[in-house]
Amino acid sequence: MIPFLDLKGINAQYRQELSTAVSRVIDSGWYILGDELEQFEQEFAQYCQTAFCVGVANGLDALILILRAYKEMGVMEEGDEVIVPANTYIASILAISENKLKPILVEPDPETYNLNPAQIEQHITKRTKAILTVHLYGQVTCMDDIKAIAVQYNLKVIEDCAQAHGALYKGGKVGSIGDAAGFSFYPGKILGALGDAGAVTTSDAELATTIRAISNYGSHEKYKNLYKGVNSRLDEMQAALLRVKLSYLDKEIEYRRQVASYYLQRIANPLIKLPKVTAVEAHVWHLFVIRCHERNKLQDYLKSHGVQTVIHYPVPPHKQSAYEELNNFSYPVTEKIHEQVLSLPIGPCINLDDVGKVSDLVNDFFS
Ligand SMILES: *Cc1c(COP(=O)(O)O)cnc(C)c1O
């Protein structure tokens, strides 16, 4: 079988170094808010070209805490509106509603699947306070257009970078392009921990300090609580493991690009729509997503030939029971994408022979 993602194989490559990191943490006797986290935060901020990185428990918390901090800072208040793509993983939208802010869903560009800047302005009202953009599947959103709108209407730009660690936009790293960014280090992401983990990057000192306090019971200083905070921290074990993985991130991204370019060259089937790349450095290929009108048949066919694929995502957020209030809204571009997408195997460990085999099978589909 060709697996969708070989997580065991990915981490096995670094077994020695990961084990050393684990031992170092065990022997330190210090497991929360220590040196490993401090080092990782510095290394990741440097990697993302930002002044600050704050480690948190997971990617959803990273986004929740950014918005929560903006509320504490008086930048926004309950009932304010946040623009977000309709075509995203539901976590982007959960972060907004969790803060009692109102998610305003906007259709994506049908080619890149990312937020379509041309669709944003018509949704802006007096209550709009931020644009939360998602670099979906690993490709950077068209940030110049989004930033221009944000400047014009005085909005914050928040990047959901959960799928796009290391992607570049005109020389700038994702995580440094907007005002703040949320990252996930869920094991299957481009930079994955061996458990849950996340981070916020920003160059706004007040925002970083506020998030740091809220994520630690609302406390800047032990036993003094300025906010009704939460406990959302990146522990020493995950920080130590992430430091190892971060040192290989660029190499892994290079390999993902090689796999993607192999698929792009080799797959040629009129029934299949391939992903559109805006610029080589702008895509880190968290997922290789193709489209097909007969998507379910294609998935069954690949499965019967030993190829595991995944659908990202089968049901759009506005059609979920959790968002009953949005169920009657119509987002035709988003709905069509959800009906047609299929993610082929990709990762830092897949061998190119298997990529060739998958491509040939896709080419033979229906022929
Ligand atoms: C994975 C993901 C998240 C959430 O990250 P977790 O670490 O799983 O909480 C948020 N947004 C997007 C786009 C994601 O893919």
Tens of pLDDT, residue by residue over 62-82, are 999 999 999 999 999 999 999
Inform me whether the pLDDT recorded for 12 exceeds 70.
yes
Question: Measured between alpha carbons, how far is 191 from 198 in angstroms, rounded to an integer?
Answer: 10
CB under 8 A, 24+ apart: contacts of 295-298? 295/339, 295/340, 295/341, 295/342, 298/271, 298/342, 298/362, 298/365
Q: What is the pLDDT of residue 285?
A: 98
* Contact yes or no for 89/162 (Cβ under 8 A): yes
Per-residue buried b or exposed e for 50-79, using 16+ beta carbons within 10 Å of the residue's own CB: bebbbbbbbbbbbbbbbbbbbbbeebbeee
Question: Measured between alpha carbons, how far is 360 from 354 in angstroms, rounded to an integer?
Answer: 10
Comparing 27-31, 110-114, 219-223, 229-233, the range with the smallest average pLDDT is 219-223
* Burial tier of 245 (Cβ tally within 10 Å: 0-12, 13-18, 19+): buried
> Any idea what DSSP says for residue 107?
P
What's the longest Cα–Cα distance across the chain?
69
Q: How far is the CA of 3 from the centre of ligand 1 (A)?
A: 21
pLDDT 10s digits, 142-161: 999 999 999 999 999 999 99
Q: Where do runs of H (alpha helix) occur along the chain?
A: 7-12, 15-28, 35-48, 59-72, 91-98, 143-153, 205-214, 236-247, 249-266, 295-304, 332-340, 352-364
* Contact yes or no for 130/148 (Cβ under 8 A): no
Q: How far is the CA of 198 from the centre of ligand 1 (A)?
A: 9
Question: Measured between alpha carbons, how far is 15 from 289 in angstroms, rounded to an integer?
Answer: 30
Nearest CA to ligand 1 atom 10: 91
Q: How far is the CA of 312 from the centre of ligand 1 (A)?
A: 12
Inform me whether the pLDDT recorded for 134 exceeds 70.
yes
State the closest ligand 1 atom to the C-alpha of 163, by its place in the atom list counted from 1: 15
Does the beta carbon of 343 sit less than 6 angstroms from any atom of ligand 1?
no
Q: How far is the CA of 91 from the centre of ligand 1 (A)?
A: 6
Pocket test for ligand 1, best of 5, 65, 82, 89 (most atoms within 8 A of CB): 89
Nearest CA to ligand 1 atom 5: 59
> Interior CA angle at 265 toward 264 and 270, to 5°?
75
pLDDT 10s digits, 235-278: 999 999 999 999 999 999 999 999 999 999 999 999 999 999 99
pLDDT 10s digits, 332-350: 999 999 999 999 999 999 9
The mean per-residue pLDDT over the stretch 315-341 comes to 97
> Interior CA angle at 179 toward 282 and 50, to 5°?
70
Q: What is the pLDDT of residue 356?
A: 98
pLDDT 10s digits, 199-241: 999 999 999 999 999 999 999 998 999 999 999 999 999 999 9
* Contact yes or no for 35/28 (Cβ under 8 A): yes
Does the beta carbon of 88 sit less than 6 angstroms from any atom of ligand 1?
yes
Q: What is the pLDDT of residue 9?
A: 97
Q: Is the dihedral of CA 217, 221, 225, 226 positive or negative?
A: negative
The mean per-residue pLDDT over the stretch 16-24 comes to 98
Closest CA to 60 of 161, 138, 208, 152: 161
Inform me whether the pLDDT recorded for 367 exceeds 70.
no
Q: Please, what is the average pLDDT of the chain?
A: 97
Nearest CA to ligand 1 atom 2: 162
Q: What is the pLDDT of residue 141?
A: 97
